[in-house]
Structures are given as structure tokens and as C-alpha cells.
Amino acid sequence: MNPILHKIVETKHEEVRLSRGKTLPPRVIPIRPWEPRLKTNSISVIAECKKGSPSSGILRPDYHPVEIASIYESAGAGAISVLTDSQYFFGSLNDLKSVAESVSIPVIRKDFIIDPVQIDEAYSYGASAILLIVRILSPRDLTSLLQHAKNLGLSILVETHNREEVKTALDAGATTIGINTRDLDTFEIHQNLIEDIAPELDDSIIRVAESGIKSYDDWQKYKGIVDSMLIGTYFMKSKDIKKDFQSLLSGN
């Protein structure tokens, strides 16, 4: 685990410690299953609300997640991902709550989840799904967190970066698997990773391409081998999100 990722995980342990015992607000919106929205006749889009990241800094100084989420929904996104990490990605649980209450499509809490209390927070603040990252979890913890989320009725995107991590995810019971082309140890993009791994997954698995997606060519390249693409930076750098959303899908 590289120093930045290690530091993020250490921060998460401290956040979990401070969160234990806190009373969470009651959930006010229904859970929206995302499987039908992700596995369609085409490639669906999980569009991301992300102000910045450790590798890129601030991506969108004028960041209004509810406004962005509304554009995503009107453009045809299958689901919306909201970064909730505050220290490294400049997000919050309130961003999650406000987005989940403003749209009618599933919203995923994207964070570095290491403990059930974070899943309880996701549920309470309106998420319909969570992200679990194989790289930062033991197989036992991954299985336990998957089950905890399922018990709450949440969907789970399990992020992987190589065949070994995909096997770990499948063994834990994952049914939606993200293949992240970005190596969390080096932050480098491995361009052909999706084409190498996704075709090996059974059709019953929802396959999600993550990171480095920024053109119609990427869309075409992944046709037939993934069900969905998670896209954040491309949209966050856009001056006209809806126009660039449609351009990504049509090439025009």
C-alpha cells in the first residue's frame, strides 16, 4: 500500500473511532436497487460528483453536487456516485444526503469503507449502494462488510485492480465488480486492464469499468465487455456536463 493510500486508511480508522456511538438521522428516502439501472441493453453510466482528489487536486472549484446530480439524471445516468471523504476528496455525508434526496436514481457512497459504521452512515444518509475496495480490506473483512450492506438492502460495488482481487471479490460474494484501471499504489492508469479482465467474468456479474474514461473511443472499446462505466474526472473538468455526457455516448 503506497504512503498516500496508507494515510487515507489511517484517517478512516480515526474517523470510524470518532463516529462510534453517534446517533444517525433516520433514512427518509427509499432504497433504489441499481442492478436494473446498470445492466441494460447498452453501457450505463455511473456519473460521479467529485470536487477533487489527491492526484489531481481541486477539479471543480465551483462545486455544487445537487446541481451536478440533476444534470446527470437528466442526461441519462444510471446511477450517481458521491465522494464523501472530506480530507482528501473534499466531500461530505451531507453531499450524499442532499444528492440522494434530489434525484430518483440510485446513489452510491464512494469512500474508503473499512467498518460497518460507515455502511450504517451510508444507509442513514440516503445511499442505495456503497463502494468496497479489495485493496484495503482483508478477505474476511470484505465478506463481512458485504453481508452487512446486504442486510441493510444496499447494493455493493466491489472495486478490483487485478485477477487476484477479482477472485477475492467473487469468493466474498460480490455480484457487481468494478475494474479500476488506476493502480492505487502508483496512481498510474493501466490502459488495457478492462479488456484483459472483464471478458473473463460471467454474464451474471455486473461489470463496471473505472478510471481513465474520457472519450467516445473508450465507450466503443468497452462495448460488449462491460455493463457500466464509472466516470468522474471527465465530467468534473467539463464546462458543459450535459453536452459532454452526450458526446461521450454519441461521438458528436
Name the β-bridge partners of 230. 46, 210
Alpha-carbon span 105 to 89, nearest angstrom: 23
Which helix (H) or strand (E) element contains residue 184?
Answer: none
Alpha-carbon span 203 to 219, nearest angstrom: 19
- 180 in catalytic set: yes
> Cell 434530489 belongs to which residue?
102
Q: Give me the catalytic one of 110, 121, 155, 165.
A: 110
Name the β-bridge partners of 82. 49, 109
Residue 188, C-alpha cell as written in the block: 498510474
Q: Give me the catalytic one of 12, 15, 50, 238.
A: 50
Phi, psi of 131 (to 5 degrees): -105, 135
Q: Give me the catalytic one of 73, 121, 165, 210.
A: 210
Q: Give me the catalytic one of 81, 98, 180, 228.
A: 180
Alpha-carbon span 167 to 197, nearest angstrom: 11
Which helix (H) or strand (E) element contains residue 68?
Answer: helix 65-75
Q: Give me the catalytic one of 53, 155, 211, 228.
A: 211
- 252 in catalytic set: no
| Surface-to-core class of residue 217, CB atoms within 10 Å of its CB (0-12 exposed, 13-18 middle, 19+ buried) | exposed
Q: Give me the catalytic one of 12, 15, 44, 48.
A: 48
- 121 in catalytic set: no
- 110 in catalytic set: yes
> Is 108 in contact with 81 (CB distance < 8 Å)?
yes
- 10 in catalytic set: no
Q: Give me the catalytic one of 81, 159, 165, 228.
A: 159
Which residues are the active-site residues? Answer: 48, 50, 110, 159, 180, 210-211
